[in-house]
Structure 1
Amino acid sequence: MSFTRTLRAVGGAVVAGALLFGAAPAASADQIRGSQWPLSNFEAENVWKEATGKGVTVAVIDQPVNGSHPDLQGNVLPGKSFVDGGRADHADASTTNDHGTAMAALIAAHGHGPGNSDGVKGLAPDAKILPVAMPEVGDGVEHAGLGGAIRYAVDHGANVINISMVVDFLTDSDKRALAYAAQKNVLVVVGSGNDGKSELGSLAAAPGVVAVGAVDKAGQVWEKSNSGSQLMLTAPGVSITSATSSNEEPYERGSGTSDSTAYVSAAAALLRSKFPDLTAGQIVNRLVKTAGLPPSKAGLTLPDPHYGYGFIRPLRALTQDIPAGSKNGPLKMPQADPSATASGASSAGASGDQASGQKSSGIKPMLLVGVGVGVLVVIGIIVLVVVRQKKNGRNGPPPGGFGGPGGPGGPAGPGFPQQPANPYQQQPNGPGAFPPPPNQYPGQ
């Protein structure tokens, strides 16, 4: 009924034993970085000329993160374990506890060795990781307490929250926490799941989150990636190399929507670093407006249940001239959480009272009554004068009056023009909402 499984199927360690952390020949070390095909497809070297994620914190709600991994050292904050109440940056060396470390590395690993050219590198290598460790359901744990983890992340400076895990059931507390994150301008990115189903789980389908599916190197949807109408984006999730918590096997290769979720979170971190004034919805707007499709999928009606609006292209998202759009962008906002606006509501209430001229003006009620009576007397005198003028035949229409220039029938139209509603602004790049131009996935 909550975290039931991680969203990554490990296909085997890439390097082990003597090939640990630069102890291997350079060719072996280069093999690790060279196996990170998403970085090549993203044109990461050009991406990092625009932004590296500096100044942005990404919360990884997952298993603990191995903050001592050479590719992650210095980029992992202490965080919190909701399992034992301690820190979450000390993952043990068991090979069953690698998932959080792998996600953190895809987001913010910086590599190691001369020029950080060895090991794995994340898409946002200067971002900080806030690890938030969650208990697995079972052994007396009925619900993992996602709501508390989200609130902790929001209250401890997260700009983006990555949840690469399945949540089968959302409690009211979980839903309020998602609303809290949305009201605090924190972007929540979640995986669609690895079951090949045509429906999304409760978390991936929840309002306010970015649900992410997986594609392969050619931009084709991974066959196990769950689909559904709420899917928003896709990203690399097949044969992905990342870090582990093991000293003996420090790298592994896996597939899953976990990995694609981490890449979307990293892309969001890049955008939040370069465009700090954009809202979470406007960040998603940039990702959506620059997403791509393989040539074989050109002409899809978007969002598509399998692709969403397409796969992310971070370089375009960072460099194209894209209007900010509405505050929420393509996100459907959850119902407001009262706790996020309690203090603001108090201030707003005071402001509203001042605007009404009731409490803050200091005008006594009897004085207000007197003023009202005086106004009525003046109006009565004016009406009396007008009636007498009509009787005397001296009531010709003044220039520009009713029917004249500026009146209801004149060029200005009937009164002030009404401002139209502000629906999400679609850019003129094709039919349908948020259509990305079709393009081969490799490259930008």
Structure 2
Amino acid sequence: MTPLTRAFRSRVGGALAAVATTAALVLAGAPVAQAEDVRSRQWYLDAMKAEEMWKVSTGKGITVAVLDTGVDSTIPELRGGKVLSGPDYVDGEGDARTDAADVDRHGTDMAAYIAGSGAGGGLKGLAPDAKILPVRVGTYDGKGTFGLAGSLSKGLRYAVDHGSRVINISMQTQFYGKQEAELREAVGYALSKGALIFAGTGNDGEELDVHPAVVPGVVAVGALGTKGQVADFSNYGDHVGLAAAGDNMPGRCQADKTRFCTKFGTSVATAIASASAALIWSAHPDWTNNQVLRVMMETAGHNGPVPSKYIGFGGVRPAQVLLEGKGDPGPADVNPLLAARGQASPAPGGSAVPKNSPSPESTGAGGEDGRSKESQAAPEAAAGSGEGGFPLWAIVASAVAVVAVIGAVVAVSVRRRRA
């Protein structure tokens, strides 16, 4: 299983590709001084009107399962009983709450983006009173998160059987033979038990089908940048359901968890979408998974026709539901995403998986590396991460800024070489 981040692939040639890759890594991995106010860098919370929403809902009463690398429950923002005990399907049947032994950080970050308290200068989660059920289904090796689809299938079933309404999968999986059918069956089982499943589309910046995001019934989540534009690394395709903030996000550094690095990826976007669902569900506990998803789709921000293969039905905007009362929950037993695509809800026996899946070498959904160089955004895909879309000039300005950074990296490289 791989979290969603793939090695950069150049389309313009060797030297320029090397420079662009270096610039991307610098932008994504630069540590933030610990003294800096991390909350002030969580731009997406302000864009989404989080402070106002928290007066209505904080995610209380909702358990979000984080199927990932495990969760370190000793960091300040995740202390106080926020993290439940969950299984480890990688190294046996141990506890996925990895505590101080966590060296992966990926699952820990996702948990903090969803339910962090902000204590001790840590991250403030979008749904700060939600509970986190960690289910370890993969490991991190610096390039991606790896595991087996069998672990993910077990994790899905465990999560819904232990009270999780929202399931966050900021990873992609590799599978062979019967594991494909097992994964579809597990998704069908989770949906039949009333859960919502969110999964990242991947960070190749290409039109790719990655699993489990492409499995019918899973809400595939793309990433948006700070200006509301589609992030250049975000994979796209007809299976994309929603989009959320996923660029220039603070997160704890992998090597030193006391410091913060800049993160990006559809991993992060998936966590924001999951937290949005938790906020809405907490405020409307009698709604079904289908009704929560329907209002998320109806209130999503987008420019142009929907669905778009870049952002699906748009960028998540829970404030539209919680503050303005928008969105019709509709019928309780009809999956709106599948209905919009003319698909039947997958039964526990599974359903067909779309073709054109990536090769086993393809890696994954988010982290401190793997940014694709070329933006795949289209005009109709410029949806706002908070309350609306942004014009083309904002996208052009972002591109100019990236070119400036690349130039700076080249200059530094030349000076170092001369020295």
Q: Shared fold by TM > 0.5? A: yes
Runs of at least 4 residues off by over 6 Å: none
Moved more, 231-240 or 313-322: 313-322
In the alignment, is residue 150 of structure 1 matched against residue 153 of structure 2?
no
Distance, in Å, in 2 between the alignment partners of 1:145 and 1:12 is 29
Moved more, 44-53 or 202-211: 202-211
Asked if the contact 1:60–1:129 (Cα under 8 Å) also holds between the matched residues in 2, the reply is: yes
Residue in 2 aligned with 1:4?
Answer: 2
Distance, in Å, in 1 between the alignment partners of 2:225 and 2:122 is 22
In the alignment, is residue 121 of structure 1 matched against residue 130 of structure 2?
no
In terms of Rg, which structure is larger? 1
Instruction: Summarize the alignment of residues 339-354 of structure 1 with structure 2, pairs less than 5 Å apart.
Output: none
Distance, in Å, in 1 between the alignment partners of 2:200 and 2:147 is 22
In the alignment, is residue 313 of structure 1 matched against residue 330 of structure 2?
no
In the alignment, is residue 79 of structure 1 matched against residue 77 of structure 2?
no
Moved more, 59-68 or 71-80: 71-80
Instruction: Summarize the alignment of residues 155-170 of structure 1 with structure 2, pairs less than 5 Å apart.
Output: 155-169=161-175
Distance, in Å, in 2 between the alignment partners of 1:260 and 1:48 is 20
Residue in 2 aligned with 1:323?
Answer: 328
In the alignment, is residue 172 of structure 1 matched against residue 178 of structure 2?
no
1:92 Cα offset (Å): 4.8
Asked if the contact 1:15–1:249 (Cα under 8 Å) also holds between the matched residues in 2, the reply is: no
Match of 1:104 among 81, 102, 111: 111
Q: Which amino acid aligns with 2:170?
A: S
Asked if the contact 2:229–2:384 (Cα under 8 Å) also holds between the matched residues in 1, the reply is: no
Distance, in Å, in 1 between the alignment partners of 2:231 and 2:62 is 30
Q: Which amino acid aligns with 2:138?
A: P
Residue in 2 aligned with 1:88?
Answer: 96
Asked if the contact 2:114–2:271 (Cα under 8 Å) also holds between the matched residues in 1, the reply is: yes
Asked if the contact 1:93–1:246 (Cα under 8 Å) also holds between the matched residues in 2, the reply is: no
SS where residue 50 of structure 1 aligns? coil
Q: Which amino acid aligns with 2:28?
A: G
Residue in 1 aligned with 2:415?
Answer: none
Instruction: Summarize the alignment of residues 252-291 of structure 1 with structure 2, pairs less than 5 Å apart.
Output: 252-291=261-300
Q: Which amino acid aligns with 1:323?
A: D
SS where residue 76 of structure 1 aligns? coil
1:105 Cα offset (Å): 0.4
Distance, in Å, in 2 between the alignment partners of 1:141 and 1:229 is 26
Deviations 1:84-140 (Å, cap 9, x if unpaired)? 311111255565x01000100000000114xxxx321000000000000013599x9
1:168 Cα offset (Å): 3.8
Deviations 1:149-180 (Å, cap 9, x if unpaired)? 10010111101000000124452221111111
Asked if the contact 2:68–2:137 (Cα under 8 Å) also holds between the matched residues in 1, the reply is: yes
Residue in 1 aligned with 2:241?
Answer: 232
Distance, in Å, in 1 between the alignment partners of 2:102 and 2:135 is 18
Identity of aligned residues (%): 40
TM score, norm. by length of structure 2: 0.71
SS where residue 129 of structure 1 aligns? strand
Distance 1:338-1:200 versus aligned 2 partners, 3 A rule: closer
Distance, in Å, in 1 between the alignment partners of 2:96 and 2:75 is 14
Distance 1:258-1:69 versus aligned 2 partners, 3 A rule: same
Distance 1:248-1:235 versus aligned 2 partners, 3 A rule: closer
Distance, in Å, in 2 between the alignment partners of 1:267 and 1:253 is 22
Asked if the contact 2:148–2:174 (Cα under 8 Å) also holds between the matched residues in 1, the reply is: no
Q: Which amino acid aligns with 1:4?
A: T
Residue in 2 aligned with 1:197?
Answer: 206
Residue in 1 aligned with 2:411?
Answer: none
Residue in 2 aligned with 1:337?
Answer: 348
1:335 Cα offset (Å): 2.9
Asked if the contact 1:238–1:254 (Cα under 8 Å) also holds between the matched residues in 2, the reply is: yes
1:63 Cα offset (Å): 0.3
Asked if the contact 1:81–1:133 (Cα under 8 Å) also holds between the matched residues in 2, the reply is: yes
Q: Which amino acid aligns with 1:265?
A: S
Asked if the contact 1:14–1:241 (Cα under 8 Å) also holds between the matched residues in 2, the reply is: no
Deviations 1:227-285 (Å, cap 9, x if unpaired)? 01110100000111124576653432211000000000000001110111111111111
Distance, in Å, in 2 between the alignment partners of 1:132 and 1:81 is 6
1:50 Cα offset (Å): 1.3
Distance 1:135-1:255 versus aligned 2 partners, 3 A rule: closer
Distance, in Å, in 2 between the alignment partners of 1:301 and 1:443 is 17
1:143 Cα offset (Å): 4.5
Distance, in Å, in 2 between the alignment partners of 1:41 and 1:137 is 31
Asked if the contact 1:99–1:244 (Cα under 8 Å) also holds between the matched residues in 2, the reply is: no
Residue in 2 aligned with 1:35?
Answer: 41
Q: Which amino acid aligns with 2:282?
A: S
Unaligned 5+ runs, structure 2: 7-24, 339-343, 351-379, 389-419
Unaligned 5+ runs, structure 1: 340-435
In the alignment, is residue 223 of structure 1 matched against residue 229 of structure 2?
no
Asked if the contact 2:44–2:385 (Cα under 8 Å) also holds between the matched residues in 1, the reply is: no
Say how many residue pairs are matched.
Answer: 324
Deviations 1:167-217 (Å, cap 9, x if unpaired)? 244522211111111110000000001011212213211111110000101
Q: CA RMSD in A?
A: 2.7
